[in-house]
C-alpha cells in the first residue's frame, strides 16, 4: 500500500509541476499581481483537476475511451479558451498604475476552465486512474480512488503554487515597463505554444 501511495504522489506531483497552460498563467499572474491575488486561479485549477480525477475514476474513463469525439471537442474548446488567455496576458498593461486600475488577475473560473477544458488534464488523469486505481484489487478501488483524488488535490495545489511563487519572486525585476511588456508577451507566446501542442499532439 505504501509503495502504491508513494508512486501516486510522485506521478501526481510530476504531472502538476511540469510546464503547462495553467502553470504559465500562474507565473504570469504571480509576476503581475503577486501570489495572494493569484490564489483564486490556483484554487480553481486545483479543484477542477481534482473533480476530473474523481469522475474519471468513478466511471467516466470508459466513456471517454469509447467516444474519442468528446476528447476532440475538449481539444478545440480548450484551445480557443487558452488562446483567449494568451491574448489577455500578451496585451496586459505594463504601467503599475494601469495594472491596478484596468487589469485583474485570473479568477477562480478562469483556473477551473483552463484545467477542465485541457484534454491533457483528462488524459493524465485517465493514465493515473488506470495505473493506480483500476489496477488494484476490486475490493480496494474505492480507497485508492479517494487516496489518489486527495493526492491529486495536494499535488496540483503545490505544483501550481510553485509557479505562482516564481512569478512573484521575479516581480521586482519587472518594475520597468519595457521588461513587463516583454515578459507579458513572452508568457503569452509560451501559452500559445502549449495550444499548438494540444492541437497537434493530443
What the block records as the C-alpha cell of 105 is: 488577475
Q: How far apart are CA 43 and CA 77, in angstroms?
A: 21
- Give me the pLDDT at residue 13, please: 92
To the nearest 5 percent, what fractions of the chain are helix, strand and coil? 90, 0, 10
Cβ atoms within 10 Å of 93's Cβ, excluding its own:
17
CB within 8 Å of 83: residues ≥ 6 apart: 192, 195
For 178-194, how does the pLDDT look when each residue is reduced to its tens digit (9 = 90+)? 888 888 889 889 888 87
CB within 8 Å of 8: residues ≥ 6 apart: 128, 132, 147, 148, 151
Residue-averaged pLDDT of the chain: 85
- Give me the pLDDT at residue 107, please: 92
Q: What is the pTM of this model?
A: 0.82
For 61-75, how does the pLDDT look when each residue is reduced to its tens digit (9 = 90+)? 566 667 777 767 777
For 14-29, how does the pLDDT look when each residue is reduced to its tens digit (9 = 90+)? 989 988 899 999 999 9
End-to-end alpha carbon distance in the chain: 32
pLDDT confidence of 85, banded at 50, 70, 90?
confident
Query: C-alpha angle 133/134/137, rounded to 5°?
Result: 90
For 162-176, how does the pLDDT look when each residue is reduced to its tens digit (9 = 90+)? 999 999 999 888 778
- Sequence length of the chain is 202
Amino acid at each position: 500500500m505504501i509503495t502504491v501511495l508513494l508512486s501516486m504522489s510522485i506521478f501526481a506531483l510530476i504531472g502538476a509541476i511540469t510546464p503547462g497552460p495553467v502553470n504559465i498563467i500562474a507565473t504570469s499572474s504571480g509576476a503581475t499581481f503577486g501570489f495572494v491575488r493569484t490564489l483564486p486561479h490556483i484554487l480553481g485549477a486545483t479543484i477542477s483537476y481534482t473533480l476530473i480525477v474523481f469522475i474519471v475514476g468513478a466511471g467516466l474513463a470508459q466513456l471517454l475511451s469509447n467516444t474519442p469525439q468528446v476528447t476532440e471537442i475538449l481539444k478545440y474548446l480548450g484551445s480557443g479558451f487558452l488562446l483567449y488567455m494568451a491574448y489577455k496576458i500578451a496585451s496586459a498593461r505594463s504601467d503599475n498604475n494601469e495594472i491596478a486600475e484596468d487589469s485583474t488577475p485570473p479568477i477562480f473560473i478562469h483556473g477551473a476552465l483552463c484545467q477542465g477544458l485541457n484534454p491533457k488534464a483528462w488524459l493524465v488523469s485517465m493514465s493515473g486512474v488506470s495505473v493506480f486505481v483500476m489496477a488494484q484489487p476490486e475490493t480496494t478501488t474505492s480507497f485508492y480512488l479517494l487516496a489518489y483524488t486527495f493526492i491529486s488535490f495536494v499535488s496540483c495545489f503545490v505544483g501550481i503554487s510553485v509557479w505562482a511563487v516564481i512569478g512573484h519572486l521575479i516581480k521586482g525585476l519587472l518594475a520597468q515597463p519595457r521588461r513587463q511588456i516583454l515578459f507579458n508577451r513572452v508568457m503569452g507566446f509560451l501559452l500559445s505554444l502549449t495550444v499548438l501542442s494540444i492541437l497537434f499532439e493530443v
